[in-house]
Structure 1
Amino acid sequence: MITLDAIDRRILERLQHDGRLSNADLAEQVGLSSSPCWRRVKALEEAGVIKGYAAQLDAKSIGLSVNVFMSVSLSTQVEKALKDFERAAAERPEVMECYLMTGDSDYLLRIVVPDLEAYERFVMDFTKIAGIAQIRSSFALRPVKQGTALPLGVSRDR
C-alpha cells in the first residue's frame, strides 16, 4: 500500500470528482504548480492508485434499465472451478461486477440488461457454465446511492 500525503489525497479527491480536469486546473485547486502536480499524478498512475479514467454513463438512457444482483453457488469450490467460473463471468459484457463472497453464496454479480427477456436469455446461457449449482436473482427497483469516488477519509493510510 502506498503512503499518501495530504496533497496526494487532494489530487485524488479532485480527480475522482472530475477526471477531465486539466493539469493546470488541478494544480491550482491543490495548491501546486503544474510540473509537481503532473509528476504526482504520474506517480499515482504508475503506482496503480489511479487505475484509469472513464465516462460515467446513465444506463437507462442507453436502454439498460434492468439491474440484477445474482448470487451464484458452485457445486465445488476447488481452485479450478473458481477460476473457470471467474473467467466465464469476466467474459460476459452484461456482468458489471463479480465478487467472491463468504456466506450462503460463492459469488455475487451485478448484471445489467435491457429487459426481462434479455435477462432470461442471459441466465439460460450463463447456467451452461460447468459447476454452477444454484443461482438466485434479486432485481433492483431503483438506485438509492451509486458512487464511484472512494472515501479517502476512511482509509488506514491517513
Structure 2
Amino acid sequence: MGIRTAVSDVSFMKSLFTAAERVAHELGDPVMGAEHLVIAALDREDLDRSDLASLPLDAPRFRDAVIAVHAEALGSLGLAGTSTPIDDHPRGVLHSTASAQAVFQDARKRARERRATLRAVDIVAAAAHLEYGTTARAIDRLGIRRAELEALAR
C-alpha cells in the first residue's frame, strides 16, 4: 500500500467512524454497529450512487429498515420501540460491535485486493457477508439479495 492510499484510508476511516457513531447515538445505541457503518457509508458524498442505482438502497431507506428491525425485536419482547438519542463523544472503531469490526476488516481486505483506496461501497458490500443481526435483517427487509451487494465492490 502506497503512502497516498494509506493517508486516504485514514481520512476515510476517521470521517466514517465519526459519522457512524453519530448515527448510532441518534438511534439510541451506545455502541457503533455494522448497521451504523452502512448508514454512514450510504450517506457519504463520495459514494458513487450509480453503483446502487439498481437497488432500493440509500441511507434513509436503510435507516428506516434498521429502526423497523429494532422495533420488531423490542416488540417481540413486549417492549415499546422508542429510542433516546445519546449525547456522547466519538470513540472510534475500538468501541464498536464485533459485527462492525468484521465489516470494516472485510472492507479493508477488499480494498487491498484491488490495490486501491477504501471506499464507501466496500463497506456496503462487506455488510452483505453478515448472516445474522440487525444489518442482515435490514438488508432482508429491503428485499436485497446479498450477492447483489457483494458485486458492488468488484
**TM-score, reference length from structure 2:** 0.27
Which structure has greater helix proportion? 2
Higher strand share: 1
Instruction: Kindly indicate whether structure 1 or structure 2 has the higher relative contact order, using CA contacts under 8 Å at least 6 residues apart.
Output: 2
Structure with the greater alpha carbon radius of gyration: 1
